[in-house]
Structures are given as structure tokens and as C-alpha cells.
Structure 1
Amino acid sequence: MLAIAVVAAPSQAALRADDARIPGWQAAIERSMTTAANAPAARIAYHVLAGEMALSRDNMSEAAEQYAAALALNARVDQPVDAPTDLAERTAKVAITADRPDLAYPAVKLWAARQADDIAAQQAALELAFVNDDADGVIEFAPRFARAVGPGTAKTRQAYQRIADLLSGKPAKSAAAIALAKQIQAAADDKTAAGYALALVAFGYDELATARQAITPVIAAAPEWADAHLLAAFIEARDLHVARARDTLAALSGSADEKATYHARLARYLLSIGKNTAGLSEFETAVSLAPSDSDARFGLALARLGNEEPDKARMAFEALTDDAAHGDAASYYLGRIAEQQGAADAARQRYEQVGAGDYLFQARLRLAVVQAGSGELDAALNTLDALAEQTPSKADDLLSAKAELLTNAGQADRALSLYNEALAHRPGKPDLLYGRALAHESMGDIDAARADLDQILKIEPDNAMALNALGYLLTNHSSDYARAEKLIRRALKQQPEDASMLDSLGWVEYKQGDLAAARRHLERAYESAGHPEIARHLGEVRWAQGDHEAARQIWQEALAAHPDDADLKQTLKTHRS
């Protein structure tokens, strides 16, 4: 049998003694736990863990605050718990991502101080110093960033160009940026590189006199520096001195191919500021210097197209269809030219030749439009379905394209069904709601269209397209012109040059009897877009002003460009007398 040990029961006195000891042990344990919890290591670990948990919830601001608290604690202890550099870097990156420059800057300064050769640290410190209006910090970190990038002329120039980039693009700080760039140059070891940075900053803020003054000694000190000459040329071009810009480039030495590149860069800049004729001339110079340069030839073709020389543009694009770099793009633009000239078969052939690359998506979209316009609606829808399989990320855009084709073909009910099905799977998607609103309007269900647009604005109160669409809807289908104008102006505030929004504003002003303002806005819209609906509106304003001949001329010119527009035909019929 098993032996059973007999344990004597404790006496009542012993039990009372144990009871007396328990509270003391508990207190000691609690004191130890409290001490441990309040120790720097535990508090720092707590904030780091809280920061990581906030990150897991995508609460970036809270994560930044927790990490900043951990960094502050870590900096105050004699023996830091975490590596100060690692924690500072982590805090800085989290705070930058959270768009909390107030928290990021102290962390970045610590990170940059401990990692003098870390380019990312020095760049972040420089940028945040500027964002936080710390002029002394900018002056301190600019040369440190340049040293981190590395020695040598090329790297120094690269560093100062980056410094210029960091000081640019903030119009509210333009005066401060230029003043800081001047101080940076004054303190710089390489006055030429820093002078180029000053010229870049001033040019970016349209301070052309300062930019010209800064770049002149740079060119004198570094006559071989092509970027400096190009900047000087851009300054002259911006100041409307195109001949001086060309003379600046002429002073550059180099091979014919190099000179062609310089002229092509000037050409692109001239086109970007609306100097189409001058830009075209520069591309012609580039091609004459390097006839085999396909980039220059493609630029010339685009410039001719933009300069409304479709026949010359077509010839230039045709010469590029077999080019490896630009063949697909050339075929796309040849399709566009053919489509605009009413040659549907030629357009279709060119769009089908686009086999890959950046232009494939647009080429297939245009192909579908051409097919639908030729009465091949099913083929057009099949083209878009095939494109959706190739580009699933564009599914909503392609659904909208299908719906538009259906609506234009008089099948708005099918378009509405497409949107209803899509919204059943993705409720509240603004783009889909916008498309459905248009479908509702085309079917005459104005209340449903208005409801969809109102829903968009509840989700995205500043959605410019929805603001404009609702304003235009109210203009055409209600008498609430005051609200309509308010909505349209909110949209225009975001996109002040948008032709459709200018048209909406002009139309609601016409409805309210402000013919002068209506004409001014509609003329701007028509000059920008030339859309037949804008032409109808502008003609109505001129007619209301008593200039019937000008109104008819606007409508007739628009009809010549859009011979199938039924609304224009009806407008001309209505205003015969």
C-alpha cells in the first residue's frame, strides 16, 4: 500500500502570524512593481509600444506624439535605454509621415547631429528648418547637407540644386526663401554652386531680376556648365526675351548632339509658358542639328500639333511609327489627327497599332469612341471590357466610359444599371455617384441626380466636379441661382482655369441678367475649350446683348467644327430671325 504522509495542521497562532505578514509582502511587491513601471526603461518602452499600436490603427498623429514622448524621456536619462540615433530617426520618420513638423524637427535635429554623413538626416533637418521658420537652422544645415552629399564639383552642384529645390515651391515663404538663399551663398565655400541655387530659387518665385543677377557671375565662373546656361536662357525667355535666350545657348560649346539637347530643353520650356511659335522654332533647330535624335523629332511633331499644323504634324509622326521609343505614341497621335479630321477608318487603324506603353490605355479608349461613333456600339463595349481585363486598376474609369457611350447612344437606362450594380459593391464611391448623377439627369430624373451629387458633397465637401455639376444642375433645373453660383464659385476657386466651370459661371450669370460678366467668363471658357455647349451659351449671351450677327457667327463656326451636334442645329433654327 502507499504510504501517506501526515501533515500537521498549523496552529491558530501560526495562521494569525501568516495573516499579519501578507499585507507587508503585498506592499513590497506593489512598491517594486511601481518602481519598475516608473523606471525610464518601462516608460520609454510604454510610449514606443503605444506608438506602434497607433501605427497599426493608422493613427499617425498619435503615433508621432508617443514616439516624441519616448524620445524626450530617452534624452533625459543618464544611460539611454534605446540607441538615441535609432529612436530619433524612427521618431522623425513617423512624425514626417504624420505631417507633424513640430514633432519631427526636434527628432530630426538629434538624428542629424549624431549622423553627420547621413544625407537623408541632413536633408530632412534642412527642409524642416525651413518649414518651421528656423532661419538659423537653414543656415546651419545647408552646408552640412552639402558636405554629406560629398566632395567634388559635380556632387557639390547637385547638393546646392537640391537645396534650391527644398527652398522652392512655397509662395508664402518666397521672400524668406530668397533671403536665405542669399545668406547660404554668402557663407558657402563654393560660391558658384550656391549662386546657381540662388538663381534657381529666385527664378522659381518669378523674381527675374534677382535670378539674372545671380546667374550672370555663375556663367562667367563656369562657362562650361550647361545647366547654368539653360537656366539663364529660361530666365530670359520668362522675361519675354526669346532672342537673348537663344544667344545664351549659342555661347555653349559642345557637339551637335549636345547642342540639339540644349535647344530641345529650351523648346520644351517655351512651350510650357505658352510660347508655341518660339518653341516650335527651337525644336526645328534641334532637329537640324541632330536629325537622328528621335526625342527632338517627337518634340517637333508635338509642337506642330500644338501649333495647329496637323498636316506637318502628321508627316512628322509618320516618320516615327517604327521608332522603338516613340512608335506607339506616334501611332496614337496619328489616330487623334485622323479622328479630328473625320477619318474614322484611319483613326481606328492607328489606334489599333498602339501595342504597349503609356499610350495603350488612351488609344483603346479612343478606339471605342470611334467604334461607337461608327454605329458599332457592341464592338466598342467589347473593346472596353477587354481593356478592363488588362488594367483592373482602371475598372471604374472604364465603367464610366461604357456608361457615357451608352448614354450617347440613347441607352441611358443601361448606363444607369451599370452604375447601380457597381455602387451595390462599392457604395458611396464618389466617381460612381457622379457618373450615376449624369445618367439620372440624361433620363430627366433631376431629383435623383441632385441626390447623388449631394451625397458626394457629404463625403467630399470640396469635390470640385460635384460642386460644379450641382451648380450647373440648379442653374438649368431650378431658380435657385444664388446657391448655384455659390457652388460654382467654390469649384472655380480650386480650378480657376477650368473651361467647364467658367462656362457654368457664365451661364448662371446670364440667367441672373449679368450679361457683361457672363460674356467675359464664357469667352474665356470658349477660348480655352471650344466646346459646342460653350458656343451655344456664348451665342445666347451675344444674342441677348443685341449682337445677333456675332451670335450666329459663333454658332456657325462651332457647327462647322462639330457638324453632328443636334443642339447647335436647333439653336440656329430657333434664332433664324
Structure 2
Amino acid sequence: MVIFRLFSVLTLVLLNGCAAPAKQNAQEEFVKPVRISQVKGEGQSSDTKTDIDPDVLYMLLTAELAGQRGQYEIALEGYMEAAKRVQDPRFAERAAKIAMYMKDSDKTKEAISLWLAQDPDNMTARKIAALSALRSGDKQAAIEHLDKLLIIDPAGFESSMLELGSVLEKENKVAFQYDVLDSLVLRHQDQAVIYFVQSLLAMQMKNSDLAEMKIQQALDVQPDWDKAQIFQAQIAVFSGELNKAVALLEKASAKYPENNKIKKLLAQVLIKEAKYEEAGDVYQAVIAANPKDAESQFALALINLQLDRESKAEEIFKKLVDQPEWHSQASFYLGKMEEKRGNTEKALAWFDKVKDGPFVFEAAISAISLLAKDNQFNEASSRLDVLQSQFPKQKLRLILIQAELYSQQKRYEQAFDLLTDALAIMPDQKELLYSRALMAERLNQLEILEADLKKILSEDPDNAEALNALGYTLVEKTDRYAEAEKYLEQALRLKPDEAVIMDSYGWLKFKQGDVKQALLYLQQAYDKRQEGEIAAHLAEVLWFMNRKVEARKIFTKAIKDAPKDESLLDFQKRILNAAE
């Protein structure tokens, strides 16, 4: 759940020229007919002169045709001259937009000046004038135009600033916009909205201290502004001060008990702090106040899943699945719950119900994973082929999944070749390098494995997964234990609580003859993750120490959970069968 968001990227219809659109789109915008025969615009007084001189009419027709042909200089001159001769702000508007598209700052200023002279309270003209001044660095003009915007439409000032900010952000002019507002606020010290926008801009500039100061100034002027209170808490979250954020939101929630926006943000911060019980209580209160709040119901279901209260989560999801806007999300999680229970058919049925929304791809991947676990590789591959055409942007992930499918079928050469072909196109892609290294290990191509993992480490020396994979391979496949120890010790420093790395290091110690240290690390790894390879390593060390009853006990449990695990089967063949 996103609990901190600055500017939503807004597309300014009024600023179509700013982003330099493709010419076809620009033509569609700029050549829209201007009803030349009816120049009296909305709001014009009835005594405004409406007759157009034949020369002006010719200019307009020429400008229209030029615009359609992409001859914008001719179009601009035509509209500009018409704007000077006829008191109709639409001609000046058209000239201003064409000038902005052409990035002709002088012509833009001239056209906007004409436009505002004919329609001084036009918000669109004023916004374009402000943007032009901000872009060109004309501070005084920018202050005057923003001042007018604030006076004409104080309620819309915030949204106007965000519109301008979304454009100026791309041009690295946010700091100048902030500076202009710093001057504007001297004229309007009682306007909390200016401080609020400055706080937003400060966060955009990654200056959380300045943002905090400005949001406090906004609240000093308008203490009961819930939006500012929420943003103050968001600043605290962004700065990592979660306790402060919770305190601010709890205070605000107590003061405004009917404000569910504050409650929801509080719940989200509590989730970020892993305080799931408390977050659940907050969502319960929100739902009690508004039983139709499906968003909060969905969040509460996820919290119940986190707390292993599957029956409560399932109850909520099954209610939400009947609501069209929540059908796919609820179906996905119902599928995940059935997958966890080992109910493959039910899980697949739920995943196949996910037809739209953000979980379509993940549901499809989950279904493929289930089919592969069930050894239905043909169906899994068939579904994967469909996804490749449906989700071309997910090409990398789909390649990795296809390689995994090959690996599960022990088709290691095909997986290796697939990954090699992908690396020819994306030679520095870490996940491809790592996956090919794993396939190279299966094919006993240790030189390629080592080269791929070292390439990852050359770019990312603190990549714990690559360090562990390289270290463990050197332990398992070579006698280069001193070199392996260097990699594994570094991996342990980076992730001291990772079970797989503990296992690798424990196995290294066993190979080096340090049985006591081996047992210590392997037991810690097993306590954290009771998977086959870790169990096999621990059982072998216990067997070596003549603690055979314990070794058999660990093996028996592990082989029951994973009867096809290669490490366990190898231990059984080498150790247990040989002892009988």
C-alpha cells in the first residue's frame, strides 16, 4: 500500500505544447476549427464588434491550413496578427499554444499578453503565463501571475501549483518555483495553501527538514486542516520517523474521529511498523463507521492473512469476490490460500478467475508455478507462451520462469541455452547471470559459473546471493576452501540471519574439519528454515559426530516433507544405505 505520494503526474490540457507532442497530436490540438464566422465568444458583451475584415479572414484561413500541414511558423503569424486586429481571446489563445509548442518564448509572452489583455481573468491564460515566466526564470513576472491566480481562484491554487510543478519537475525548475512562492507568501502570510505547496516542493527537492518547517507553518495558519496534518505524518514516514508519524496521526484521529482518511493512514503506518493487531483494530473501526468501505475490508483481510487468521481473511475475500471492482484481487488471494493448503485444482480455479486489474500477471504466474509443481509441464509451457504475447514488457521475468520450468524437468542444457541467448541481448542483467550460473553448476561448467557470478560481483560487490552461490560452489565442487571462506564470510556480514548462508558457511566448516563450528551454524540454519539441503547437511554432521539417532530423526522428517529432494536422497544413498 502506497502511503506516501507527492505529485500525481497531471497532464495539462491547457499546456499541451509543453511536452512537445508528436506532430500528429500537435496538429489535432492546434488545428481545431475556430468558428471564424462566429467570433463572439462565451461571456463577450453583445456590443463587441463581430465583423471580420476580409484580410483577417484570409489570415485565419491561411493559419488553419498551415496548422493542418504542420507549418507552425505560418500558423503562428496568422493567429498572432488576427489576435491583434480582432477582440477575440480565442485567437490569442491559439497563438500562445502554438508558440509554446514551438518553444518560442518571445512569441509566447507576446501572445499571452494579448490573451490576458482581452480576458484578464482567464485561468488557462494565467497558468500558461505563470509557466512561461517560471520556465524563463522571470521571477517578478512569475510572482505577479501566481498572485493573480491566488486572488482569482484561491480554492484552486493548490491544484494549479501541482499542475505547474508536474511540468517544472521534468525541467529541474522545482527549486525556482519554491523560491517564487517564498516571495509570494510575503504578500499572503495568512494563506496556508502557499506553505503547504512549498512543503510539497521541498519534499520533491528531497529536503524533509524544510518540508517539515513549511507544513508546520501551514498548520500554524490553519490548525484544523486535515490534509496538512496527513502530509505532516507522511513527511515523518518518509524520514523514517514512524513513531512520530503514529503519534501525529493518533492525535489527529482523536481530534477528528469521523475522519477516515486519517485513520487509514494511521493503519498503513502501523502496518509498516509490523503492528498488525493495532492496524487491524483501526480498520475495524473504519469499517464499523462505513460497512461499505471495501478498500478497508480488503486491507483487513490482508492483515488477517499476515496474522495467520485464514478463516477470517477467507470470509472477507469471499464477500469481496462478489463485488466487480474487487473480484480479481479477492480471487487472487483466495487462490493463494488454496495453494498454501495444497489444493491445486481449487487454487487454479481461483487464479483463472483473475481477468483484470493489477493481479492478472501474478495470478497467471502462480498458476504456471502450481502446474509445474504438479508435473503438468505441457500445460505450464502452453500458458507461458500465451503470457509472452500478452505481457511483452515482462520479457525478462518470463525468460527466467521458462528457464526454471526447464530446470524442474532436468532440461538443464535448454535452460542454459535460453539464458545464454537472453544474455546476448542483455549482457549485464544480474538475474540472467545468476540463473545461468545455477544452470552451469548443473552442467558442471564451473568456469562459466564462476565468470557469471564474478561479473555480478564486479558491479555489485555486496550482492549476498552471488557471494553465497560462489562460495558454496567452491566448497562443494573444489578444494579452494580459503577462497570460499572469503566470499561466505562477506555474505554472512551482509546477511547474518539468512539461513541459506549459515548453511553454506556451516558446510564449509565441516569440510575444513571444524565440526563444532559446523554444527553450530547448521543447527542455526535448520532452526530458521527446515528445508531439504540444510537438513541433509545437519544430518551428515550429526552422523559424523556419532549422533546417529538425531541424524535419522532429522532425515526422516525432511524426506517425508520433500521425498524427491536430491540432497536428502544423496545422504540416504551415501550414508544410510551404506550403514545397513
TM-score range, shorter chain: 0.5 to 0.7
By how many angstroms is 1:293 displaced?
1.4
Please tell me whether residue 245 in structure 1 is matched to residue 248 in structure 2: yes
Please tell me whether residue 260 in structure 1 is matched to residue 233 in structure 2: no
Distance 1:206 1:292, change over 3 A: same
Give the structure 1 partner of residue 492 of structure 2.
Answer: 519
Distance (whole Å) between structure 2 residues aligned to residue 399 and residue 264 of structure 1:
36
> Are the counterparts in 1 of residues 532 and 568 from structure 2 also a CA contact under 8 Å?
no
> Are the counterparts in 2 of residues 302 and 313 from structure 1 also a CA contact under 8 Å?
yes
Deviations 1:473-499 (A, max 9, x none): 889732795884454453x59xx9xxx
Please tell me whether residue 478 in structure 1 is matched to residue 447 in structure 2: yes
Distance (whole Å) between structure 2 residues aligned to residue 243 and residue 107 of structure 1:
52
Distance 1:251 1:452, change over 3 A: closer
Distance (whole Å) between structure 2 residues aligned to residue 279 and residue 167 of structure 1:
38
Distance 1:308 1:542, change over 3 A: farther
Distance (whole Å) between structure 2 residues aligned to residue 574 and residue 90 of structure 1:
80
> Are the counterparts in 1 of residues 123 and 149 from structure 2 also a CA contact under 8 Å?
yes
Give the structure 2 partner of residue 456 of structure 1.
Answer: 426
Give the structure 1 partner of residue 503 of structure 2.
Answer: 539
Give the structure 2 partner of residue 503 of structure 1.
Answer: 465
Distance 1:79 1:115, change over 3 A: closer
Distance (whole Å) between structure 2 residues aligned to residue 114 and residue 406 of structure 1:
67
> Are the counterparts in 2 of residues 503 and 521 from structure 1 also a CA contact under 8 Å?
no
By how many angstroms is 1:540 displaced?
0.7
Output aligned runs, 1:345-494, within 5 Å: 345-381=345-381, 383=383, 391=390, 400=399, 403-404=402-403, 406-410=405-409, 412=411, 440=413, 442=415, 449-450=419-420, 452-457=422-427, 463=429, 465-466=431-432, 477-478=446-447, 484-490=453-459, 492=460
Distance 1:281 1:483, change over 3 A: same
Distance 1:268 1:165, change over 3 A: farther
Q: Which among 505, 522, 526 is matched to residue 551 of structure 1? A: 522
- The letter of the residue matching 1:504 is A
> Are the counterparts in 2 of residues 230 and 262 from structure 1 also a CA contact under 8 Å?
yes
Structure 2 residue ranges without an equivalent (≥5) = 1-21, 28-69, 85-90, 475-482, 534-560
By how many angstroms is 1:296 displaced?
1.0
- The letter of the residue matching 1:316 is I
Q: Secondary structure at the match of 1:186?
A: coil
Output aligned runs, 1:12-411, within 5 Å: 89-90=97-98, 92-93=100-101, 136-137=137-138, 140-141=141-142, 144=145, 147=148, 151-162=152-163, 182-188=182-188, 191-204=191-204, 207-237=207-237, 238-240=240-242, 241-250=244-253, 253=256, 256=258, 259-268=259-268, 271=271, 279-306=279-306, 310=310, 312-381=312-381, 383=383, 391=390, 400=399, 403-404=402-403, 406-410=405-409
- The letter of the residue matching 1:566 is D
By how many angstroms is 1:301 displaced?
1.8
> What is the aligned residue count?
448
**Bigger CA drift: 342-351 or 324-333?**
342-351
- The letter of the residue matching 2:241 is D
- The letter of the residue matching 1:521 is L
By how many angstroms is 1:467 displaced?
6.0
Q: Secondary structure at the match of 1:342?
A: coil
Distance 1:449 1:347, change over 3 A: closer
Distance 1:394 1:330, change over 3 A: same
By how many angstroms is 1:566 displaced?
2.9
Give the structure 1 partner of residue 61 of structure 2.
Answer: none
> Are the counterparts in 2 of residues 229 and 248 from structure 1 also a CA contact under 8 Å?
no
By how many angstroms is 1:155 displaced?
0.8
Distance (whole Å) between structure 1 residues aligned to residue 502 and residue 132 of structure 2:
49
Distance (whole Å) between structure 1 residues aligned to residue 250 and residue 405 of structure 2:
55
Distance (whole Å) between structure 2 residues aligned to residue 328 and residue 480 of structure 1:
41
By how many angstroms is 1:275 displaced?
6.7
- The letter of the residue matching 1:477 is L
By how many angstroms is 1:386 displaced?
6.6
By how many angstroms is 1:371 displaced?
2.9
Distance (whole Å) between structure 2 residues aligned to residue 538 and residue 234 of structure 1:
38
Q: Secondary structure at the match of 2:342?
A: coil
Distance (whole Å) between structure 1 residues aligned to residue 217 and residue 394 of structure 2:
54
- The letter of the residue matching 1:554 is A
Deviations 1:543-573 (A, max 9, x none): 4366423234425643459954835647977
Distance (whole Å) between structure 2 residues aligned to residue 150 and residue 374 of structure 1:
68
Larger RCO, structure (CA 8 Å, separation 6 or more): 2
Distance (whole Å) between structure 1 residues aligned to residue 440 and residue 184 of structure 2:
55
- The letter of the residue matching 1:516 is E
By how many angstroms is 1:193 displaced?
0.5
Distance 1:398 1:311, change over 3 A: same
Distance 1:175 1:264, change over 3 A: same
Distance (whole Å) between structure 1 residues aligned to residue 446 and residue 125 of structure 2:
58
By how many angstroms is 1:107 displaced?
7.3
By how many angstroms is 1:168 displaced?
6.6
> Are the counterparts in 1 of residues 147 and 184 from structure 2 also a CA contact under 8 Å?
no
Distance 1:178 1:375, change over 3 A: same
By how many angstroms is 1:335 displaced?
1.0
Deviations 1:199-249 (A, max 9, x none): 223345564443333223433433453312211333445523144223342
By how many angstroms is 1:194 displaced?
0.4
CA-atom RMSD, angstroms? Answer: 5.3
- The letter of the residue matching 1:249 is A
TM-score by length of 1: 0.59
Q: Secondary structure at the match of 1:218?
A: helix
TM-score by length of 2: 0.59
Deviations 1:275-321 (A, max 9, x none): 76664454333224323311111122223435665554334323422
Structure 1 residue ranges without an equivalent (≥5) = 1-50, 57-66, 95-102, 413-438, 527-534
- The letter of the residue matching 1:291 is P
Distance (whole Å) between structure 2 residues aligned to residue 523 and residue 113 of structure 1:
66
> Are the counterparts in 1 of residues 298 and 317 from structure 2 also a CA contact under 8 Å?
yes
Distance 1:245 1:410, change over 3 A: same
By how many angstroms is 1:331 displaced?
1.7
Distance (whole Å) between structure 2 residues aligned to residue 126 and residue 508 of structure 1:
58
